[in-house]
Structures are given as C-alpha cells and as structure tokens.
Amino acid sequence: MEEEDECPELVPIQEKPGGPAVQIPVTIITGYLGAGKTTLLNYILTEQHNKRIAVILNEFGEGSALEKSLAVSQGGELYEEWLELRNGCLCCSVKDNGLKAIENLMEKKGKFDYILLETTGLADPGAVASMFWVDAELGSDVYLDGIVTVIDAKYGMQIALADLTIINKTDLVNETELLKLRDVVRSINGCVKILETQKSRVDLSEVLDLHSFDIKDGERLSEKLQLVKASHPHLDQSMRTVTFEVPGSVSEDLINIFIQNLLWEKMFKNKAGVSMTVIRLKGILSLNKKEKKVMLQGVHELYELDETPELWDDQEPRLNRLVFIGRNLDGDVLKREFISAVSRRDCVDDS
C-alpha cells in the first residue's frame, strides 16, 4: 500500500567503523488487556528458531506467579526476566522497572540476541519507549527496533505510538467492522503498517528487525513521543487486580455458571453496591475428574476453558487460582461468590 506523503522516509543506518559491539534489538509489544500480546509472543518463540530470544513481561497485578505459568512456553534457549508492577499508577514506575529489567538482562549478554518486551495492557507504552531515547548509555547495548501494537478487533486499541499494528481476532468480526477499524487506526496513526491476524499468527519478518528508529540518536522516537504526549490520557486508575486461591476441585458446570453470572449477567456488586466489571480474567483451575490443569482465559464477556498439557502432580494439592482485572472489584466478595457458586449441590452432573 502507498503510504501518506507526511510519513518520514527511512534511511538505512550506516555501520559504525571499527566494528562496535553488537547491539541487541528490542521489540516492544503493546496492546490493551487481552488483545493477544502473549499469544503473539508465544507464536514468535515457537516460530523463530534462529534467534535466541529473551522475554520481558511487564505484567499488571500481583498474580505474577500465575502470569508466569500462563505466559511463556518453556523450553529451548529462552531467558526470562519478569517485571512486577503493583496496582496503581504505572506511568511513573514503569520506566525505572523497565530499565532495571533490561540491565539485568544485559548481564547475561551474549546468551541471547533479541529482546521481546510485552508491556501490560494498562502501561503507558510511551514511558517504556522513552527510556530508549533518554538513557544514552543503555542505548549503546540495545536499540529499539519497533513498537508493535496488537489490537483486539472486537474491543479496541492503543495505537498512537505503533510502528506496526496487528489487528487480531479477525474471526470475531465481519468485513464491515474490520474496514471501520482499519479506518480508525489510519485516522489515529497515518503511518502505521497494519496486519490482520487470528491468534496473532504473523509473518515474523514483518514483526522483527523492523529498524523503525534507525535515524540517528533516536530522533524519530523523540519526535514520536512528542506527538503522543499531548494526546495521551493518564492511566486509568479505577482499574484494579484481584487474585485469590481456593483449594479443591470444582465442577465445570458450576464454574461456567459462576463465570457467566460474573461476565454476562454482571450479577456481583462491591460493598458500595456497584456492579463489578471484569475486563480480563485468567486462571488455573482444578476441575472434577480432570487429570490436567485447566486454563481459564477471559476478555470482556468472552471466555474459554482449555485443558493444559500439565498434569496435577500426586503430591501437589489441587487448587484454583484466579486473577481478575477490572473496575469496582472487591476481592472478598468475589472469593465468597466463587466459593458459594462452586459449593452448590443441586444441578451438578459431574462431581
């Protein structure tokens, strides 16, 4: 597709004389909660066999143990660093944490040759991106290769900064809706390249090694950050994370009823009487008669229960671990409702 006139022309960078130390490219993967960032990350890790890739996950909430087990497939030459961010405003903290994580990674330098950085669906990608521009010293070891934004075709976006947007979940919308979304993306970011995918399956050559910022000294990045500064809304502080564990095994039917009451009927209220809105739901569940762990994934009102390959160990206590991200959430109430829902004795056919 022909790009607009105002899009800056990219000039290939000249190799510095004297053979400088190899710089490691960093691709930032952004996108709103549940858009498909981790799906993309896993896809890249399974498809890409020539590069040793390090992954940094910048996740939201306390459920990081769970996030780890959900996020990245193990095996191969994979090195992980984890960023933990607490509830609250992330705009301020993300920059320092991001730097530290990358510095930790740098100590293992030589062991990998590419970094993928997934930012939480709530972080300000501008803050993460700006550290590459601000910190000149860091800039000598790594460089920002590109900002990839995954967009949920059904639920929305975060695209002003992106070099590449991936409109994911095209299976959930029709051609007209897709066309509309493409227009919206173009109107926010006229220069951005747009790919359309299901399950974030992309041609890796269109995602990695973009060299989006190869004009000297991050000038283009600073220009970009300037552009979004004016329009960037502050992080949504009403968003909270709630996690809890409930021991034992539960009925699949009752779990479905609980989730549907929560996501579809919005039946549960916090102590102020306001309905809880869950935007993102993740969990590892122990279902009756299932030998393997079951993963729960929810985005807005859509959810799925998938058996993982992982068996419950004989010694391992069976339990259910859940993470909720949303508004007006009350952890005590949610846990109580969960326990009461899975303890129902009537209409159970599988316990």
Instruction: Point out which residues pair with 118 in neighbouring strands.
Output: 29, 57
134 binds, among Zn ion, ligand GTP, none (CB under 5 to 8 A by kind): none
Closest CA to 290 of 322, 250, 345, 339: 250
3-state DSSP call for residue 271? coil
The angle subtended at Cα 306 by Cα 300 and Cα 311, nearest 5°, is 140
Any contact of residue 321 with Zn ion (CB under 5 A)? Answer: no
Site for ligand GTP in 83-142 (CB under 6 A): 121
3-state secondary structure 141-177: CEEEEEEEEEEECCCECCCCCCCEEEEECHHHCCHHH
Nearest to 54 by CA among 127, 97, 107: 107
Residue 64 vs 320, nearer CB to ligand GTP: 64
Which of ligand GTP, Zn ion, none binds 36 (CB below 5-8 Å, type-dependent)? ligand GTP
Q: Output the smallest distance, CB 60 to ligand GTP, in A.
A: 7
Q: Which residues pair with 143 in a beta bridge?
A: 25
User: Pick from 172, 173, 184, 188: which binds ligand GTP (CB under 6 A)?
Assistant: 172
Pick from Zn ion, ligand GTP, none: which does 283 bind, CB < 5 to 8 A by kind? none
Residue 278 β-bridge partners: 326
* CA nearest to 139, candidates 12, 24, 219: 24
In this structure, which amino acid lies at residue 75?
G
Would you say 38 or 320 has its CB closer to Zn ion?
A: 38
CA-wise closest residue to 150 among 30, 44, 15: 30
Q: What character string, x for contact with ligand GTP (CB under 6 A) and - otherwise, covers 138-167?
A: ------------------------------
Stretch that binds ligand GTP, among 27-35, 109-117, 247-255, 267-275 (CB under 6 A): 27-35
Q: How far is the CB of 34 from Zn ion (least distance, A)?
A: 8
Q: In angstroms, what CA-CA distances link 111 with 29, 52, 106, 116, 332? A: 22, 7, 9, 14, 44
If one asks whether residue 77 binds ligand GTP (CB under 6 A), the answer comes out as no
Report CA-CA distances (Å) from 201 to 10, 36, 66, 74, 198.
26, 10, 24, 19, 6
Determine which residue in the list 198, 256, 275, 340 makes contact with ligand GTP, applying CB under 6 A. Answer: 198
As measured in angstroms, the least distance from the Cβ of 226 to ligand GTP is 27
By CB under 6 A, tell whether 36 contacts ligand GTP.
Answer: yes
DSSP letter at 206? G
Range in contact with ligand GTP (rule: CB under 6 A) among 75-83, 168-176, 253-261, 332-340: 168-176
Q: Check residue 120 for interaction with Zn ion (CB under 5 A).
A: no
Q: Closest Cα partner for 102 from 76, 132, 145, 73?
A: 132
Q: Which of 24, 25, 30, 31 forms a contact with ligand GTP (CB under 6 A)?
A: 31
Residues 261-280 binding ligand GTP (CB under 6 A) are 280
The DSSP H or E segment spanning 185 is helix 175-188
* Binds Zn ion by CB under 5 A, chosen from 28, 32, 36, 38: 38
257 binds, among Zn ion, ligand GTP, none (CB under 5 to 8 A by kind): none
Report which of 171, 204, 179 is spatially closest to residue 41, judged by C-alpha positions. Answer: 204
Q: Which does 154 bind (CB under 5 to 8 A by kind): Zn ion, ligand GTP, none?
A: none
Q: Determine the residue with CB nearest Zn ion.
A: 38
Instruction: State the number of CA atoms in the 13 A half-sphere of 80 facing the CB.
Output: 19
Residue 249 within binding range of ligand GTP, rule CB under 6 A: no
168 touching ligand GTP, by CB under 6 A: yes
Q: Judged by CB under 5 A, which of 28, 37, 83, 329 binds Zn ion?
A: 37
299 binds ligand GTP (CB under 6 A): yes
Residues at the contact surface with Zn ion, assessed by CB under 5 A: 37-38
Footprint on this chain of ligand GTP (rule: CB under 6 A): 31, 33-39, 121, 168-169, 171-172, 198-200, 280, 297, 299, 304
